[in-house]
Each structure stands twice: as C-alpha cells, then as structure tokens.
Amino acid sequence: MLCVNMSEMGSMVKDSFSLRLFHGLGKRTMNVVNNLGTASIFFSLSFLKIFQPKQFREIIHQVLFIGARSSSIVILVGLFTGMVLGLQLYYTLTKFGSEGVLGSVVALSLIRELGPVLTAIMITARAGSAMTAEIGILRISEQIDALYTMKIDPLRYLISPRIAASIISFPLLTAFFDLIGILGGYLTGVLLLGVDQGAYYYRIQSYVELADIRGGFIKSLVFAILVSTTCCYQGYFTHLRTDSYGAKSVSLSTTSAVVLSCVMILVSDYVVTSLLM
C-alpha cells in the first residue's frame, strides 16, 4: 500500500508541475497575443488620424525632434561604422587578393543591413525612449484624461504626429548613415591603407543596384512603424502595468519600449531580408 501511495503521489506531483508549466506558458502566450492585437489596433487608429486636418505643424515639430536632432549621433555612428568596416574588410580581402572590391563590400554591407538597423537602434535609444517617457508622464499625471474632457483626441494629438514623423525621418537618416558610412570606408581604405580611389568608387557604382537601395528603405519604413508604435504604446498604457505604478512605471515602460524595439528591429530585419531575397 505504501508503495502504491508513493507512486500515486509522485504522479500527482508530476501532473501538478505539468499543469503549472502549461498554465504559465499559456497565460504568457495569451498576454503576447492580446498585446499584439491591441498594438495593431492602436497603430491603425493612429495612422488613420495622420491625414486629418491641422496635423502638419505638429508633424513638423516631431520631425525636428525625431529626425533633425538625431542626425548628429547617426552621422557619428555611421562615420565610425564605415571606418571600422573599411579597416576590417581590407585585411580580410587582402588574404584573397581582392582588396579592389573594398568599396562594393562596404557599400552593400551598409545599404543592405547595417545602415537601416543601426540607424533604427540609434533613434530608438535617443528619440524612442524620450517618446515613451513623455507620453507616460502625461498618462500618470492625468493630462491625457484632461484631453478627453476637452474633447481632444489623444491619439490624434499625441500619437499620430510621432508615427508620421518616424515614417519620414527613418529613411532620411538611413540615407545619411549610408553616405557617411561609405565616406568612412573611403577614409580608411583609400587615404589610410592605399586602395585605389577610382577602383573604390567604380566598384560601388558597378555592384550597388537600385534593388539594394530600395530594400534598405523598405527596412527603414518597417523599423519606423515598429519603433514608433512600440514606444508610444508603452507610454500610452503605462498606467495599466501590474508590476509598478507612478514614476517607476514610467521608467519600466521606457526600458521595455527600448528593449522590445531593439528586439523587434532585429527580428523584423531577418523577416524582411528573407522576403526580399
């Protein structure tokens, strides 16, 4: 009897552990699906309100904040990324006697992958975190509720201009990143390491095609939608967090927005690349 009871207790413990495991997994999965659905509706409503009247001035203001004021860090990162690429790829290509193709390798690496991804991450770190914190503070201080009482749509007033500005700014800053990165590769490869200047530019002109540039801009548009939606969503619903409240909830929402945006940038980069190939 003792042996039977012990075996029955062991099976009950295993069943209980399995139930807890699947319950936790199912609960997290449902939370992810619900958040994705809510974020999709959030983006759809905000995007449609971009085309309503009297949005132009606020969109320009957000382009200044998200785009123009992020240009310095994007240019700096682009310059040193191109210089590092030129340095590393030169010594790699020298082993195969192919240092003449340095220009095309640097340009394609920047245009296809590094330009859109690093630009999006830099904008997320600077402007995305600020968007989340600003909207989160407006939420916990009940200023968004005050907009409702004044019959002002918060999505139209706060969210739509930021999404529109991101869609405008991300491709432009990606183009700046690519150009400055190619210049950085030129400084390292041609001026410092002695690659022929004509060969450097000729390889870029020969190997870079319109499809490569178009693919980079498509990625930047996808990143713009994901980053702006994620950051605004986290700030707008910061009062619904169950792990904290008040000022701490804003800090946690900002951290979540930056981490989620970076993860989604990398995941979507793989998805879009596989679709474009």
Reported as a single tens digit per residue, the pLDDT across 119-174 is 999 999 999 999 999 999 999 988 888 988 888 888 998 999 999 999 999 999 99
44 domain-assigned: no
- The identity of residue 89, as a single letter, is L
Q: pLDDT at position 1, please?
A: 46
Is residue 258, in this structure, part of any structural domain at all? yes
The answer to whether residue 14 is domain-embedded is no
pLDDT in tens, 177-188: 999 999 999 999
Of the candidates 247, 242, 235, which has an alpha carbon nearest to the alpha carbon of residue 31? 242
Question: Is residue 21 in a domain?
Answer: no
Q: State the total domains in the chain.
A: 1
270 within domain boundaries: yes
Cα separations in angstroms, 77 against 20, 84, 174, 246, 272: 47, 11, 11, 35, 23
Per the domain annotation, does 3 fall within a domain? no
Tokens 């400055």 map to which residue?
180
Q: What totals of helices (H) and strands (E) does the chain contain, helices first?
A: 12, 0
| Averaged pLDDT, groups of 10, the chain, 277 residues long | 51 59 69 78 89 88 92 93 92 83 90 93 93 92 88 90 94 95 92 86 88 93 95 90 81 92 94 89
- Give the separation between CA 43 and CA 37, rounded to whole angstroms: 10
How confident is the model at residue 12, as a pLDDT? 54
Q: What is the per-residue pLDDT for 24?
A: 66
Q: How far is it, in rounded angstroms, from Cα 235 to Cα 137?
A: 8
The boundaries of the domain holding residue 238 are 55-276
CA 161/CA 172 separation, integer angstroms: 17
- What b-and-e string marks burial along 158-170, b requiring 16 or more CB atoms within 10 Å of the CB? bbbbbbbbbbbbb
Asked whether residue 260 is assigned to any structural domain, the reply reads yes
Residue 50 inside a domain? The answer is no
